[in-house]
Each structure stands twice: as structure tokens, then as C-alpha cells.
Amino acid sequence: MPELWGVLNVTPDSFSDGGQYLERPAAVDHGRRLLQEGADVVDIGGESSRPAGRIYGEGFEQVPVAEEIRRVVPVVQALAGRLGARVSIDTVKPEVAAAALAAGATVVNDVRCAEDPALAEAAAAKSADYVIMHNRGRGEVQSPNTAYENVVDDVLAELLAAAQRVERAGVPRASVWLDPGLGFAKTAAQSALLLSSLGRFRKTGYRVLVGPSRKSFIAELAPNPGGEPPPPGDRLGGTAAAVAICAAAGVDAVRVHDVFAMRQLIRVAQALREAGGGER
């Protein structure tokens, strides 16, 4: 059964829940709620990675280092330090990663595909795990960044090259995770193809994390009856379908907003598989 990584965005502009948990008390309360619902890891981010494109417009705004540290470190301290939770820091800045790791985080979640070796060096200095999410540029879905000869082959090759960079920076192979980066520099069809090919990623020997939750590819694959894309909060069914595919493929973790519902889905699906061929 895959681990559940609960999403905690301490941001004003994340695509799904921007602004809801920007204040520290609300962020800590939501982190506690994710843990109570069954999250194995809380993934905390202080800068949105919302991709630009048709649905989200211009994408995220960059946050100064000091502001990002101000947002995330007290929340990391509360959840990891006082509650003993496993915490991942979702950042592309080495200074933010170092501050969060010092506060008790044990994972760095890098959404820029190991672009900056200093980020991996910060993780190595604290013996932290390192998630490499595939991305190209800022993840604009309507751009040349989506031009692949073969999306599965190309994403795998680029992730494996990134993993070599991370390992050269001092992170051991056993601590490296791969994330195909659904929705980042990918069309909806490309994200669907990656989901159907997760076995290829598992065969690399690296642990695999997938983040399908509430992504725009779900809205494009399953628009509302009137043809318009459903908002992020109305993508639970599509998220559940994607998580079921991830669990069946044997991935190591899924990164989700709706921890309780996804935990229920995974457990019931597992129980049904284990029930075998009973009476019809």
C-alpha cells in the first residue's frame, strides 16, 4: 500500500487551496488534520508551483527566501518538532531547504528536476531523502516544453540524469525518489500516458512518488457536462481514479490533498484484491 503524503500549502496562490492555510495557526491545524486522517508524511510548501497555462493563467509568483522561510519553518517545527511527524519541504531554494531540515523536516521535494545542485547538497548535509519531480522550465502546459519524442522514454531519461546529479551531490541512491511530474510541462494526454506507464518508473529501482491530486489534467480529461473544466475542489473522483492506478502499479507514495478519502480508497481496493475470486 503506498504511503500518503498530505499536501500543506502555506501560500496565497496555490492552484487548489491558495490562501486557506497562509496563517500559521490554520496551517498547523490543517497539518494535524492530515495526520489524523492518516497521512504518513506532510509535504509543506511556502511557494506555489502552480503551472502557467490555459486553466491557471500566468502561474505562480516567486517568493523571497526570507518570506518563504517565515512561512514554512514554524509549521515544520510544530509538526515535526512537537508532534514527531514526518515532514517534507517542497522548495527549490537551498536556503529554505536547509532551514526546514534544521527545524525537523526529513525530505526535500524538488519540483525543478534537480536544476540546482546546492539543493541536493543541503539534503545530503542532513541525510535527508530527495524527491526529484520531472519538470521543464516553469511547467507551462501550452508551450514547446511539452514537445517529447516519446513522453515516457524522455521523462524517464531526464529523471535518471537528474538522479545522477543528485547522487553526485552526496545523496545516496537509496534516498532518492522519482516523480513523473504529472501536469508539469505535460498535456493531459501525456499525463495519462505516464500514469499508465508507472511500471517503467518502478523498474528503475528508485522509489516512486506520484502527485495526481486535483491536477488540471483531470479537469481536461473529465470536463463538466457543460464542457467547462471543474474547479480543483470538484476533482475528487478523477483524483481517486488516478490514485487507484498508482496503487495498482505499486508506487511507493502518492501526494494528495484529500487524505481520508484516498486512504479509504486504497484500503478498500487492497481488500477487494486480496478477497480473491469469491462467488459471483
Return the active site residues.
Answer: 215, 255
What's the chain's Rg over C-alpha atoms? 18
Give the alpha-carbon dihedral of 85, 184, 257, 217, to 10 degrees. -160
Buried b (16+ CB within 10 A) or exposed e, 207-217: bbbbbbbbbbb
Instruction: Please report the beta strands in the chain, taking only residues with DSSP state E, as ranges in sequence order.
Output: 3-9, 41-45, 87-90, 107-110, 129-133, 176-179, 207-210, 253-256
What's the rounded Cα separation, in Å, for the pair 108 and 106? 7
What's the rounded Cα separation, in Å, for the pair 68 and 88? 15
How far from 80 is each of 32, 139, 191, CA to CA, in Å?
Answer: 11, 30, 33
Whether the Cβ atoms of residue 132 and residue 179 lie closer than 8 Å to each other: yes
User: Residue with C-alpha cell 527566501?
Assistant: 65
Task: Give the chain's length.
Answer: 280
Report which of 175, 180, 245, 165 is spatially closest to residue 205, judged by C-alpha positions. 175
Helix (H) or strand (E) holding 150: none
What distance, in Å, lies between the first and last C-alpha atoms of the chain?
Answer: 26
Whether the Cβ atoms of residue 76 and residue 104 lie closer than 8 Å to each other: yes
